[in-house]
């Protein structure tokens, strides 16, 4: 029987799990601040530190509060809003993942239209876009890596403290790159295990 790699894309995708907060922080606390600001806010931080995961987690939280939202994902290949994009009625806020990709004039246009329609705006960005600051993600240390891996892949796949420290140093705290390496390691171990099993059966 083939066992799925617990670090496969479908498991580590930002929509597939919730953000792991450090001690003293919580989703309810961040969500309450987001709501108090009229559903306006930004999540800032370096690449690979969980901004997208937190954005999806916060959107789900807001939806549970009865909010409606529209979501847009931007990256190096998609640096503009979709051509068929339009403001819809009854949308409490618009969520933009990778908002720093937008040209300055388009970001200003989007923010202006949101204010005109009494809608909020939630964004992830590498640098501040002058929205109310909701959260700043940080580069992962060994303990963060262990907690994130446990949340995604279960306690049986948590790296030991020494390996976690090595991964944090090797990838400069980029948790996404750490998860990619753990995926490759799991695949390699699975291949070796399969080869050993085959050799054992042939040798019987």
**Per-residue pLDDT averaged across 171-184, rounded?**
92
Position 59 scores a pLDDT of 96
Q: Are residues 72 and 145 in the same domain?
A: no
Same-domain pairing of 128 and 143:
no
Residue 88 pLDDT grade (very low, low, confident, very high; cuts 50, 70, 90): confident
Same domain for 127 and 67? Answer: yes
Whether 149 and 129 map to the same domain: the answer is no
Domain count, the chain: 2
Alpha helices in the chain (DSSP H): 9-12, 27-36, 51-64, 104-116, 142-153, 161-170, 175-203
Mean pLDDT (whole number) for 45-56:
94
**According to the model, what pLDDT value does residue 161 have?**
93
114 with 148, same domain: the answer is no
In a domain, 94, yes or no: yes
Q: Looking at the structure, do residues 43 and 124 belong to the same domain, yes or no?
A: yes
Task: Write 146-152 long-range contacts (CB < 8 A, 24+).
Answer: 147/20, 148/20, 148/50, 148/175, 148/179, 149/179, 149/182, 151/17, 151/18, 151/20, 152/6, 152/7, 152/11, 152/12, 152/17, 152/179
For residues 102 and 156, state if they share a domain: no
CATH number at residue 44: 3.40.50.300
pLDDT digits (tens, 9 = 90+) for 114-173: 999 999 999 999 999 999 999 999 999 999 999 999 998 899 999 999 999 999 999 999
Domain extent at residue 58: 27-76+90-136
Residue from 126, 129, 118 nearest 39 by CA:
118
What is the model's pTM?
0.85
Give a yes or no: residue 18 inside a domain.
Answer: no
pLDDT of residue 192: 60
């Amino acid at each position: 029987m083939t066992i799925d790699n617990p670090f496969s894309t479908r498991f580590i995708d930002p929509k597939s799990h919730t953000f792991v907060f450090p001690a003293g922080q919580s989703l309810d606390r961040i969500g309450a601040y987001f709501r108090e600001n009229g559903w306006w806010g930004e999540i800032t931080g370096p690449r690979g530190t969980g901004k997208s995961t937190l954005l999806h987690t916060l959107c789900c939280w807001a939806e549970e509060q009865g909010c409606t939202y529209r979501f847009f994902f931007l990256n190096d290949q998609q640096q503009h809003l979709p051509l068929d994009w339009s403001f819809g009625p009854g949308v409490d806020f618009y969520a933009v993942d990778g908002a720093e990709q937008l040209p300055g004039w388009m970001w200003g246009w989007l923010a202006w239209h949101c204010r005109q329609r009494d809608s909020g705006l939630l964004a992830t960005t590498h640098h501040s876009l002058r929205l109310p600051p909701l959260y700043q993600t940080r580069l992962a240390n060994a303990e963060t890596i262990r907690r994130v891996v446990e949340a995604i892949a279960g306690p049986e796949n948590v790296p030991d403290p020494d390996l976690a420290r090595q991964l944090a140093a090797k990838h400069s705290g980029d948790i996404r790159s750490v998860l990619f390496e753990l995926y490759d390691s799991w695949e390699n171990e699975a291949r070796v295990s399969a080869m050993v099993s085959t050799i054992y059966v042939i040798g019987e």
